[in-house]
């Protein structure tokens, strides 16, 4: 589906990401501040003024308004565009959503999907002694070992480099996966390698396993996003608040550079000493999650009753993270790539980056089956019981 996006700014980035996820093709960014004489581009797409002659034949295309500020600004832009003859204008998310079902149906296996907003989560180690209560760790470890008892438990550095070299640098590399990343002593070196290759890099961590040596590798790294899982007063997240932990947290927050810091507190009540450390840091308390928002049953893989069971979703569905092209994947220490961070039971293996290219992951038989299973609720698909899944 072809669309226009009004607004070539921060909100434009958000909508470009959304459009990419649903396989929509942005023909032009439209902006009142466009400088047509300079062939201005945004995401390699031309930015034109609303009255540009090139838009004359495109006035029936959907226009998604992407401007920051209150809804009144969007309404006033909508009226400006209507005066110019545009007829399908979406001024907010609800209005954009009307176009998604068609876009998804038309974009199954869309070869134009750019993977510009894709991500690959790195599982640096197998087995995580942190043992958070909301993590189906045992299920995953047993499954991994049962598939190949000789598979590495720590990602070998050379194999990691080989896998990364197969991934386009537009793909975000997220150190997270199915275990605490710093439990692999080479994690910081792996982070540096991804950053030096030019990938956007993000990190989800409890800081367990982080050592002083790691900071040397990360001193020049600018993370796109760091999400710290904090200790909590109910011990859902099993991290001990000791003097050493507080010192480490303080050093991390004063040393690591990130465009965004997010704190995850799993019972919404973080120990006071931890809060104080954060409040005195260069990155103050920004975004605490609440327990009920963050803990879910991992698409039915959690074997305790900490989170309610996600009901089975019937009919045609898509993933709220990746639409019909799920490119938010997990890379394991043996090179295997799984569908996503819910797949603790390794039900959907897309391939192995030690032996194949990145694009091949999306052309494999398993992806073909996934595409059918999104429509056919008789086929096996973990998304059916995942909190991220949505009906078309
Ligand atoms: S299991 Fe959930 S997160 Fe994973 S692809 Fe399916 S809907 Fe998306």
pTM, two decimals, is 0.80
pLDDT value for 294: 58
Average pLDDT value over all residues in the chain: 87
* Reduced DSSP (H G I as helix, E B as strand, rest coil) percent helix, strand, coil of the chain, to 5: 35, 20, 50
pLDDT value for 170: 87
Q: Whose CA is nearest to atom 6 of ligand 1?
A: 383
Helix (H, G, I), strand (E, B) or coil at 339: coil
What distance in Å separates the CA atoms of residue 239 and residue 175, rounded to the nearest whole number? 19
Atom number of ligand 1 nearest to Cα 343: 1
Query: How crowded is residue 259: how many other Cβ atoms within 10 Å of its Cβ?
Result: 11
DSSP string, 34-85: --GGGT-EETTEEEE-TT-GGGGGGTTSEEEE---S-HHHHHHHHHHHHHTT
DSSP string, 283-306: S----PPPHHHH---TTTT--SSS
Which residues, judged by CB distance below 6 Å to any ligand atom, belong to the binding site of ligand 1?
Answer: 299, 319, 321, 326, 339-340, 342, 382-383, 386, 388-389
Nearest to 302 by CA among 131, 126, 123, 137: 137
What kind and span of H or E run contains 144?
A: helix 137-147
Q: Which residues contact 272 (CB under 8 A, 6 or more apart)?
A: none
User: For residue 64, which phi and psi values (nearest 5 degrees)?
Assistant: -95, 120
Atom number of ligand 1 nearest to Cα 382: 1
113 pLDDT above the threshold of 60? no
265 pLDDT above the threshold of 80? no
% of the chain residues with pLDDT over 70: 92
Q: pLDDT for 55-95, tens place per residue?
A: 999 999 999 999 877 778 889 999 999 999 999 999 988 88
What distance in Å separates the CA atoms of residue 330 and residue 346, rounded to the nearest whole number? 10
User: For residue 89, which phi and psi values (nearest 5 degrees)?
Assistant: -115, 125
Q: 129-133, 248-252, 282-286, 386-390: which range is least confident on average?
A: 282-286
- N-term to C-term CA, the chain: 16
Mutation test residue for ligand 1: of 120, 176, 299, 379, the one with most atoms within 8 Å of CB:
299
Bridge partners (DSSP) of residue 229 are: 264
pLDDT value for 108: 54
Atom number of ligand 1 nearest to Cα 318: 7
29 pLDDT above the threshold of 90? yes
| Assigned token pair, 243 | 């003097």
What distance in Å separates the CA atoms of residue 287 and residue 290, rounded to the nearest whole number? 10
Q: Whose CA is nearest to atom 3 of ligand 1?
A: 388
163 pLDDT above the threshold of 90? yes
Local confidence band at 350 (pLDDT 50, 70, 90 cut-offs): very high
pLDDT value for 270: 82
Local confidence band at 116 (pLDDT 50, 70, 90 cut-offs): low
Helix (H, G, I), strand (E, B) or coil at 5: strand
């Amino acid at each position: 589906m072809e669309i226009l996006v009004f607004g070539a700014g921060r909100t434009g980035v958000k909508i470009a990401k959304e459009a990419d996820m649903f396989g929509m093709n942005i023909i032009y960014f439209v902006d009142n501040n466009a400088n047509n004489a300079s062939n201005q581009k945004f995401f390699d797409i031309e930015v034109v003024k609303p009255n540009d002659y090139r838009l004359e034949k495109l006035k029936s295309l959907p226009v998604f308004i992407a401007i920051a500020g209150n809804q009144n600004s969007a309404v006033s832009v909508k009226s400006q565009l209507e005066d110019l003859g545009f007829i399908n204008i979406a001024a907010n998310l609800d209005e954009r959503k009307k176009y998604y079902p068609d876009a998804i149906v038309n974009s199954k296996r869309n070869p134009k999907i750019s993977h510009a907003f894709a991500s690959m989560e790195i599982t640096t180690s197998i087995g995580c002694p942190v043992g958070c209560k909301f993590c189906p760790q045992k299920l995953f470890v047993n499954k991994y070992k049962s598939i190949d008892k000789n598979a590495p438990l720590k990602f070998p550095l050379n194999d990691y480099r080989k896998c990364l070299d197969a991934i386009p640098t537009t793909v975000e590399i997220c150190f997270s996966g199915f275990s605490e990343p710093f439990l692999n002593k080479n994690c910081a070196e792996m982070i540096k390698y991804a950053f030096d290759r030019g990938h956007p890099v993000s990190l989800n961590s409890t800081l367990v396993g982080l050592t002083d040596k790691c900071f040397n590798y990360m001193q020049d790294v600018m993370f796109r996003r760091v999400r710290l899982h904090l200790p909590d007063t109910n011990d859902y997240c099993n991290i001990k608040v000791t003097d050493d932990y507080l010192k480490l947290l303080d050093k991390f927050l004063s040393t690591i550079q990130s465009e965004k810091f997010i704190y995850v507190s799993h019972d919404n009540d973080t120990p006071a000493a931890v809060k104080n450390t954060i409040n005195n840091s260069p990155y103050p308390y920004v975004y605490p999650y609440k327990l009920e928002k963050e803990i879910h049953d991992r698409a039915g893989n959690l074997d305790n009753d900490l989170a309610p069971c996600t009901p089975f979703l019937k009919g045609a569905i898509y993933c709220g993270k990746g639409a019909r092209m799920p490119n938010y994947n997990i890379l394991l220490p043996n090179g295997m790539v799984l569908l996503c961070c819910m797949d603790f039971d390794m039900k959907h293996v897309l391939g192995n980056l030690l032996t194949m290219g990145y694009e091949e992951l999306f052309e494999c038989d398993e992806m073909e089956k996934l595409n059918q299973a999104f429509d056919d609720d008789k086929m096996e698909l973990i998304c059916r019981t995942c909190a991220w899944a949505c009906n078309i």
